[in-house]
Amino acid sequence: MKLKHITILACTFALLPGPAAKAENSSSKAAKTGTRTEELKPARQKLISSDRNIFRAGVLIGTDIGGAVPVPFKYIPSTFNPYPQLNLDMGVFAEFRLHDRWSLGANFIYKTVGMKADARVSNQKYEDQEAGLLQYYTGTAKMDMSFTMFEVPFYAKYTFNNHVSRLLFGGYFSYNLKAEFETLATKGYSGGEPDKVEVIIEKGDDPLNMSFTSSLRDFDAGVMVGYEHTVYNRLNIGIRLSMGFLDIFQRDTKFFDYKMLHMRGSIIVGYRLFH
């Protein structure tokens, strides 16, 4: 009986992997891990190498969400329902690396920023087109603003350690090729003085056209911040927030007692042609 037990134990130990087998398995796993690392390394090195090139340039597309907003914000009507109009932005970009972390860049973009809105206004000043007199309107209105422009953002870009995430800080200048700001009074009343009722507009009547297009300024300038991420060796996706410093209306406008500034967010997709 004792001999039988010894024989079973001997067979059991013979079937267990020995130090040599364990070492072989460890070597095999290490080899597989090393192979995966070597497979990933060239792509990673290529990404880092392209990020360190002195000059980068390419094309971009995107869209903007936003429009001109009254400032101070207290002048935003209590009833205000905006409907941003999405349009395609197209442009080019160029960047110069100053340091492992910092670079300077600029874009040249053709875009249209538009927004429609339903609002209730109080004593909104406008000019009677026939009489040429200043009038005041109170009631509901439909607003339609659109700005087709060339925009030139310029910025400093900070790159994080992973070489795929970046922050942008800078400003922009834009010039309007075509700008419109039209308002249709749909239900309310108007008069030659605040709160004076001289003309009543009922629902279903022909709307009263209050046009402010001729009072628009031709250019704008402001600040911009953003974030950018590389999703492929040449492909970047980013978001930007910008705010104008200049009133969209000319200084001598007589229709508004407050400023209206451009405020918008942008989604940008860029592809590097040179990097």
Domain boundaries, the chain: 20-51, 54-274
The reply to whether CATH 2.40.160.20 applies to domain 54-274 is yes
The pTM of the whole model exceeds 0.75: yes
Tell me how far apart the alpha carbons of residues 263 and 244 are, in angstroms, rounded to a whole number: 7
Q: Which is it for the CA torsion 88, 63, 90, 49, positive or negative?
A: negative
Tell me how far apart the alpha carbons of residues 161 and 26 are, in angstroms, rounded to a whole number: 32
Instruction: Write the pLDDT tens digit of every residue in 149-170.
Output: 999 999 999 999 988 999 999 9
CA angle 6, 7, 12 (to 5 degrees): 100
Instruction: Write the pLDDT tens digit of every residue in 93-124.
Output: 999 999 889 999 999 999 999 999 999 999 99
141 closest CA partner among 126, 119, 162, 115: 119
- Residue 174 pLDDT level (bands cut at 50, 70, 90): very high
- Residue 44 pLDDT level (bands cut at 50, 70, 90): low
Tell me how far apart the alpha carbons of residues 179 and 177 are, in angstroms, rounded to a whole number: 7
Tell me how far apart the alpha carbons of residues 116 and 67 are, in angstroms, rounded to a whole number: 9
- Residue 172 pLDDT level (bands cut at 50, 70, 90): very high
